[in-house]
């Protein structure tokens, strides 16, 4: 049963301050990651069309391999933020250790597979013959740093979940600068450093990732919540089970969404007339949407940590109200760029292409999708609260429903039943987005999600399974 709690203006300001103090470093971290991708594309574009195509293809493949790392991180952030909210330094340390053991084990297996079968991976991925040799070189180099990448991703989550978001931000900045500088120096050469061409892009990523891992570990090992190396040698089965319980649904959620997006691209390609124009318009439009949504995804992660902290401290009302504040902040932040994109869609589209038909279609795509953006801002923020509370299974079901039961069937009907143009597809995407966000808001209105991290069998929080019980004397 929900408790009605009223907050005065000073308390509302405090919630806003907490949200923003966690949000703005996350926005910068997201921007740093975005900058790395832009630098990779910039250098690859100068090195040739084949290199650019290989970078895009391998990048998507590599991100797929990191889905498990992101899933582990979601579980770790939920459990660590709650342990931190409960002022349990031992809990933070032990959940960190178990997360790293799980991440290293999985990435180790993936590394061995990638090193042993790079040609098979390239072939199964369906890469064109012209880029396969380049792609294999990328995979060989990237596979060498797959373990460091997993460790960096997980430890970044640990830092932000345990009150060290500014450390994570600075480490991300340093790693990004090294990566971007490496792209330029190793790709084109500089002074006595020879140009490595496209391999320079891969080695720059390897260098930046490894440095980011080392910097994160330096801080993970320090302080009262510092990682105890002995914990790495004696993992507890129940703790691993709880991490998997939270992380696996998140990994499946990302997989379902990515696979669904590929299906959407395939379906758009089946439009009768103008399918190439529609694909080009959607591809460019997605890039604009991604840039707009950097701060919203950042606030999603901030909301997960803040919600976990509140629930760990036993403040369920504060967790609920804090999530509402983050959602309001997300909506406020997104409104100005949404209006700007809607109004200036023709000018923005003309920056990305000179094809008149693509510009016109891209304008329709952007304007129709902007209608759903305010709803998505609220939905993404609330999904962060659900994940921070450990309600990852429900979040997965809702996202799966939004993609596979709403979006894809709607688009199939638009194309094959009503035989509408691409405009109908854009409206189907927007409607499915609004419905999915409605489901997330409805889940948030209930009470089940705030108890998702409470294990009824052990009568304790999930993170407490990572702390060995002391014998009663």
pLDDT band at 2 (very low <50, low <70, confident <90, very high): very low
pLDDT (mean) for 23-33: 90
Residue 1 has pLDDT above 70, yes or no: no
Q: Given this model, what pLDDT does residue 6 score?
A: 59
DSSP, collapsed to helix, strand or coil, labels residue 5 as coil
pLDDT (mean) for 410-419: 92
The Cα 344–Cα 367 span in angstroms is 9
Domain ranges of the chain: 9-235, 257-460
Residue 142 has pLDDT above 80, yes or no: yes
Q: Given this model, what pLDDT does residue 104 score?
A: 94
Residue 8 has pLDDT above 70, yes or no: no
In this predicted model, which residue has the larger pLDDT, 389 or 277? 389
Alpha carbon distance, N-terminus to C-terminus of the chain: 39
- What does the buried/exposed string (b/e) look like for 330-342 if buried means 16 or more CB atoms within 10 Å of the residue's CB? bbebbeebbeebb
Give the closest residue to 202 by CA, choosing from 108, 294, 134. 134
Residue 471 has pLDDT above 60, yes or no: no
pLDDT digits (tens, 9 = 90+) for 13-22: 877 888 888 8
Residue 204 has pLDDT above 50, yes or no: yes
Residue 86 has pLDDT above 60, yes or no: yes
Give the closest residue to 110 by CA, choosing from 76, 66, 164, 70. 66
pLDDT (mean) for 280-309: 87
The Cα 151–Cα 167 span in angstroms is 16
The Cα 410–Cα 190 span in angstroms is 53
DSSP, collapsed to helix, strand or coil, labels residue 189 as coil
Residue 193's beta-bridge partner residues?
190
Q: Given this model, what pLDDT does residue 40 score?
A: 85
298: Cα separation from own chain's centroid: 9
Q: Given this model, what pLDDT does residue 3 score?
A: 47
pLDDT band at 174 (very low <50, low <70, confident <90, very high): very high
């Amino acid at each position: 049963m929900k408790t009605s709690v009223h907050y005065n203006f000073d308390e509302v300001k405090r919630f806003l301050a907490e949200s923003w103090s966690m949000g703005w470093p996350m926005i910068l971290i997201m921007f740093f990651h975005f900058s790395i991708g832009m630098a990779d594309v910039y250098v690859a574009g100068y090195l040739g069309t084949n290199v650019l195509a290989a970078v895009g293809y391998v990048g998507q493949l590599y991100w797929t391999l990191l889905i498990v790392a992101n899933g582990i991180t979601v579980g770790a952030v939920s459990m660590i933020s709650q342990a931190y909210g409960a002022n349990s330094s031992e809990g933070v340390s032990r959940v960190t250790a178990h997360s790293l053991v799980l991440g290293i084990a999985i990435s180790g297996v993936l590394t061995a597979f990638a090193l042993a079968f790079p040609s098979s991976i390239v072939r199964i991925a369906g890469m064109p013959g012209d880029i396969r040799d380049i792609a294999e070189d990328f995979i060989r180099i990237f596979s060498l740093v797959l373990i460091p990448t997993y460790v960096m991703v997980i430890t970044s989550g640990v830092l932000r979940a345990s009150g060290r978001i500014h450390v994570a931000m600075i480490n991300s900045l340093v790693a990004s600068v090294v990566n971007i500088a490496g792209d330029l120096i190793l790709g084109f050469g500089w002074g006595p450093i020879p140009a490595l061409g496209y391999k320079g892009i891969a080695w720059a990523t390897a260098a930046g990732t490894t440095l980011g891992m080392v910097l994160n570990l330096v801080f993970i090992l320090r302080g009262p919540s510092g990682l105890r190396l002995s914990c790495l040698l004696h993992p507890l089965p129940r703790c691993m089970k709880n991490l998997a319980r939270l992380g696996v649904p998140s990994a499946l959620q990302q997989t379902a969404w990515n696979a669904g997006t590929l299906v959407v691209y395939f379906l758009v390609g089946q439009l009768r007339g103008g399918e190439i124009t529609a694909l080009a318009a959607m591809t460019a439009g997605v890039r604009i949407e991604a840039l707009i949504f950097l701060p919203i995804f950042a606030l999603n992660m901030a909301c997960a940590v803040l919600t976990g902290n509140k629930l760990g401290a036993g403040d369920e009302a504060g967790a609920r109200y804090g999530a509402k504040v983050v959602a309001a902040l997300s909506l406020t932040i997104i409104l100005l760029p949404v209006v700007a994109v809607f109004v200036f869609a023709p000018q923005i589209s003309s920056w990305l292409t000179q094809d008149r038909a693509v510009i016109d279609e891209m304008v329709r795509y952007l304007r129709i999708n902007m209608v759903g953006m305010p709803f998505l801002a609220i939905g993404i923020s609330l999904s962060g609260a659900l994940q921070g509370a450990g309600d990852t299974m429900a979040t997965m079901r809702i996202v799966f429903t939004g993609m596979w039961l709403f979006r894809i069937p709607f688009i199939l009907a638009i194309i094959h039943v009503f035989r509408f143009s691409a405009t109908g597809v854009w409206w189907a995407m927007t409607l499915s987005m609004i419905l999915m966000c409605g489901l997330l808001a409805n889940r948030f209105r209930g009470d089940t999600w705030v108890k998702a991290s409470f294990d009824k069998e052990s009568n304790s929080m999930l993170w407490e399974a990572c702390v060995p019980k002391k014998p009663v004397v």
